[in-house]
Chains A and B, each alone.
Chain A
Amino acid sequence: MKIQPDRDRFSILLEGCRPMVYKIAHSYCPSREDMEDLVQEIFLQAWKSFSSYDPEQKFSTWMYRISLNVAISHYRSKKRQGALLSLEDYRSDLADPAVGGQSDESAARLQQLHQLIAGLPALDRALMLLYLDEKTHAEMADILGISLTNVSTKISRIRMLLRQQLSPIKK
């Protein structure tokens, strides 16, 4: 079977973004089954939109936009159906040490972080994910379509929230 060059190129570019797509999907969709659907939808939408991708632009920036746009729409759709998990019910099995392979403490902290992210509105959640992925303010502004000043203000709030909400794990 002849493989189209575009698909090869897309495949190579996407490989580097896979962890990012998983993280975004998981942050907007903790249910494993729905997360699989969402990841697939992100890939499909990225493939469908690939013809409009400008190679002058960083692929990861473009991919962040696609992933966040699809994930936010998915989240809103679930919200309309009343199918979102409550914070109390929010438990990530990927933060389970048995699944993730981390220490108990790291797993507990990751769980705490997930619960904090899950409590944020859809757009603040996007900004938090970009912040945790160590994107620059300029990249965040470019991905989200807001001003640099706005990003700086919001990041200060996020930092404060992280300090206030995530207390050390009691051993």
Chain B
Amino acid sequence: MEENEFKKIWQDYDLALERSTAINLQSWAMLAACRTEMQSIRVVSRMEKLSVFKRRAILLGILWVLLLVTLIYLTGSNNPFFSVSAGMIALISLISMGQYLHQLWHIASINLGMPVTQVQNQLVRLQLSTIRSVRTAWLQLPFYSTWFWSLHWIRTSPASFWAIAFPIALGFTWLTICLYRNIQIGHMDKKWVRRLMMTGPEYKTLEEAQDFLRQLQDFDQ
């Protein structure tokens, strides 16, 4: 077959598509212009889907931080361990929310009318940036093992504190450092890292995104 023949077949394909009654898009302009109708159709923009998870996470994060701040306020200076631990958890949650907000801003600033490789690069890097939020979130871990500490406990039962609670907190700290150093795109080949990151719905996209980034880089060469 000659090249021109392929192109001729491809052009004739226009007619086949026109004849096909599969798609009735006569009302697309009306649908596009009318927000309520847009919401009623089956299609929900995939770009919007991408941001829904982050919006929900931010909303939950705000509620979580509000709860922690209220508890810190209510307990006052009764227990400094609780105040510091809850305060650190709230601070790290706020940083995670900031990262999510930054990602949402990136989503909103993507212009689909830009060249394909440029837009796809932005999208894939946005997906991969999720990993930063995961790393940050893990930093909270040691503080979940210290919020119930108290000076009274240390004074009255030093054995149980130094033999159990303190080593557990140290273990969590070591685990956090280990996770923080390993949870990055370059380490996704490690089985345990992959398992850990691929559990949430958001992280299933990471492996595919990394693969697609390689394709983009090859395509650009």
Interface residues of A (CB under 8 A from B): 4, 7, 10-11, 14, 18-19, 22-23, 26, 32, 35-37, 39-41, 43-49, 52-53, 62, 65-66, 68-70, 72-74, 76-77, 79-80, 94-95, 99-102, 106, 109-110, 113, 121-124, 126, 132-134, 142-146, 150, 159, 162-163, 166-168
A122 touches B215 (CB 8 A): yes
B16 touches A101 (CB 8 A): yes
B189 at the interface (CB under 8 A from A): no
Bound-state CA distance A160–B115 (Å) is: 26
Residues in B with CB closer than 8 Å to A166 are 1, 6
Interface residues on B, range: 35 or more
| Among listed B19-27, B74-82, B180-188, interface-contacting one | B19-27
Secondary structure at the A interface, as helix, strand, loop or mixed, is helix
Residues in B with CB closer than 8 Å to A7 are 29, 32-33
B33 touches A72 (CB 8 A): no
B46 touches A101 (CB 8 A): no
In B149-205, the 8 Å CB interface with A consists of 204-205
Assuming the contacts A41-B46, A65-B115, A121-B215, asked whether A4 and B220 have C-beta atoms less than 8 A apart, the reply is no
A80 touches B204 (CB 8 A): yes
Bound-state CA distance A11–B26 (Å) is: 10
Out of B6, B28, B112, B120, which one reaches A43, CB within 8 Å?
A: B28
B16 touches A73 (CB 8 A): no
Residues in B with CB closer than 8 Å to A106 are 9, 12
Bound-state CA distance A88–B217 (Å) is: 29
Closest to A73 in B: B46
Out of A22, A52, A72, A124, which one reaches B113, CB within 8 Å?
A: A52
Assuming the contacts A80-B204, A80-B208, A100-B20, asked whether A146 and B9 have C-beta atoms less than 8 A apart, the reply is no
A48 to chain B, nearest CB (A): 8
A43 touches B3 (CB 8 A): no
Given contacts A10-B29, A43-B32, A110-B12, 4 further A-B contacts (CB under 8 A): A52-B113, A122-B212, A145-B115, A146-B219
Bound-state CA distance A80–B20 (Å) is: 29
A47 touches B16 (CB 8 A): no
Bound-state CA distance A39–B42 (Å) is: 12
Residues in A with CB closer than 8 Å to B5 are 109
B31 touches A44 (CB 8 A): yes
A171 to chain B, nearest CB (A): 14
